[in-house]
Amino acid sequence: MSTASLLRHVRLRLVARRPGTGFLRLNHTSAAPSSSPDSPTITVGSQTFPRDDWTNLPPHITSALPRKLHLQPSHPLSITRALIERRFPAPLYTAHNTLSPIVSVAQNFDSLGFPPDHVGRSRTDTYYINASTVLRTHTSAHQADTFRAAASPGFTIAADVYRRDAIDRSHYPVFHQMEGARMWSRREHADLAAAVRADFATLSDPGLPVEDTPQVHHEGNPLQPEHSAAEAEAVAAHLKRSLEGVVVEVFGQARAAAIAAGLPAGDPLKARWVEAYFPFTSPSWELEVWWGGEWLELLGCGVVQQAIPTAAGVPDQVGWAFGVGLERVAMLLFGIPDIRLFWSQDPRFLGQFEEGKVTRFVPFSKHPPCYKDVAFWVPRGEGEGAVGFHENDMMEVVRDVAGDRAEDVKLVDEFTHPKTGRKSLCWRINYRSLERTLTNEETNEMHEQVRAALKERYGVELR
């Protein structure tokens, strides 16, 4: 099951900082990759790869590779990971938290059955080192290898993942996912359904009020032909009980933190299962939690499509998998309002958190925004009427120039000339630092750099 399908939402070296700042600032002269765009090779970390026409890896992305926020003990993302991991203990589950983000196209896409024309393979969505190597777009890039290794019946994978994406308070091109799986072997269990039910009986009931679906499988959420109804129903029961325990663990901590901060405790915790469709599981569900007076989607999960373990060389394995975005959960747990804060190195942010504890984030500043528009005619791409510019190209230009000093970028106007067919776009950029007030001079300078980069890289005609 690909976490990319389950989730629909989401420099190592700093330049000299002004006093009181802690965010990463782009420094193209010092950031990896160390080779220039004209070099025949590209160096990422300690590895060197040949460049080709697919290479699209910018310095502001490679500079994030060493950070590993999910492994910094007192960081909110690491605390969140550990809370979830607690529900999947060794030796039954093996935790994989240090897998390299550099993977092959085969690992990231082919092993999961992505069709050749899938949008996720596009250079507009994925960071390519070269045509055969990418930065993983989901933790499931390691799933086939982990199934094949079969180090334990279950596993979790937590990692930083990379995707070209929008600029706003809930999206970032580097984010963190966690997935887990539990498998049973037909070779070891003559009656697999009975074995799963026996394991289910060992799971404690978390006591969570839950609304469940009336059927485990039906035509709209189908049983796989390789599975019997008894097997799918047993696996689904084990899956749901396991993840309901995660809800109690995580949101019980969140409730306690809210009370400690003097906030209302809110309604009693409850959850519900909602049928879903994911290409890599069937039947499939989303788990929603009643929190803050509304239903929030927490994660996606299901019975693993048998084609995945079969392709990994372990066709006897049957089981379940889930995927969850750590930023989404951590923002709820700690009350963090802006995803950029996770990358802050300001002690006013990092000093609020302690390993093993959930505490509510206390805002330390709110600085004024600065809105600036940029409008341009888009160059035509290949083919009649094709447009050679993607919205993620806009996001990459702004991130290259402004880094975390850009809060959001929105398309505010779109116009096609009735006679020439030329397309004009107008984007509004909100420049706002989370740590200090930006001066007019530096905002104007950043904006001019954005305009120049758009013209140079994509051949747009500025208006």
Side-chain half-sphere of 185: how many Cα atoms within 13 Å?
Answer: 11
When pLDDT is cut at 50, 70 and 90, the band that residue 264 belongs to is confident
When pLDDT is cut at 50, 70 and 90, the band that residue 32 belongs to is very low
Question: For position 292, what pLDDT does the model report?
Answer: 85
Q: What are the DSSP calls for 349-395, one per residue?
A: HHTT--TT----------PPPEEEEEEEEEPB-SSTT-B---HHHHH
Q: What are the DSSP calls for 206-251, one per residue?
A: ----EE--S-S-BTTBPPPTTS-HHHHHHHHHHHHHHHHHHHHHHH
Averaged pLDDT, 342-360: 94
140 is written with which tokens? 């499931």
> What kind and span of H or E run contains 189?
none
Question: For position 285, what pLDDT does the model report?
Answer: 98
DSSP state of 275: E
The 3-state DSSP class for residue 52 equals: coil
- 156-182: per-residue pLDDT in tens? 999 999 999 999 999 999 999 999 999
Cβ contacts of 154 within 8 Å, gap of 6 or more: 88, 92, 93, 94, 180, 181, 182, 183, 319
Question: For position 35, what pLDDT does the model report?
Answer: 61
Q: Position of tokens 């879903």?
A: 276
What type of residue is 232? A
| In the predicted structure, residue 387 carries a pLDDT above the cut 70 | no
Report the C-alpha gap between 325 and 93 in whole angstroms. Answer: 19
Averaged pLDDT, 419-446: 92
Alpha helix (H) ranges present in 111-170? Answer: 143-149
The better pLDDT of the pair 128, 379 is held by 128
Averaged pLDDT, 426-455: 93
Handedness of CA 201, 205, 206, 209 (dihedral sign): positive
Report the C-alpha gap between 18 and 12 in whole angstroms. Answer: 18
Averaged pLDDT, 138-160: 95
217 is written with which tokens? 């499988």
Question: How many other CB atoms are there within 10 angstroms of residue 158's CB atom?
Answer: 26
Question: For position 153, what pLDDT does the model report?
Answer: 97
Report the C-alpha gap between 167 and 408 in whole angstroms. Answer: 5
What is the model's pTM? Answer: 0.86
The mean predicted confidence, pLDDT, of the chain is 89
Burial 4-37 (b: 16+ CB within 10 A, else e): bbbbeebbeeeeeeeeebbbbbbbeeebbbeeee
Q: Which of 373, 369, 347, 359 is nearest to 434 (CA)?
A: 369
Q: N- to C-terminal Cα distance for the chain?
A: 46
| In the predicted structure, residue 81 carries a pLDDT above the cut 80 | yes
Averaged pLDDT, 79-94: 96
Long-range contacts of 402-405 (CB under 8 A, 24+ apart): 402/26, 402/429, 402/431, 402/446, 402/450, 403/23, 403/24, 403/25, 403/26, 403/60, 404/23, 404/24, 404/340, 404/343, 404/433, 404/434, 405/23, 405/431, 405/432, 405/433, 405/438, 405/446
Report the C-alpha gap between 463 and 454 in whole angstroms. Answer: 12
Question: For position 1, what pLDDT does the model report?
Answer: 43
Asked if 303 and 283 touch (Cβ cutoff 8 Å), the reply is: yes
Cis-peptide into 33, omega within 30 deg: yes
Report the C-alpha gap between 156 and 143 in whole angstroms. Answer: 10
- 203-240: per-residue pLDDT in tens? 999 999 999 999 999 999 999 999 999 999 999 999 99
Report the C-alpha gap between 47 and 31 in whole angstroms. Answer: 15
Question: For position 113, what pLDDT does the model report?
Answer: 86
Cβ contacts of 115 within 8 Å, gap of 6 or more: none
Report the C-alpha gap between 408 and 171 in whole angstroms. Answer: 9
Question: For position 435, what pLDDT does the model report?
Answer: 85
Question: For position 39, what pLDDT does the model report?
Answer: 87
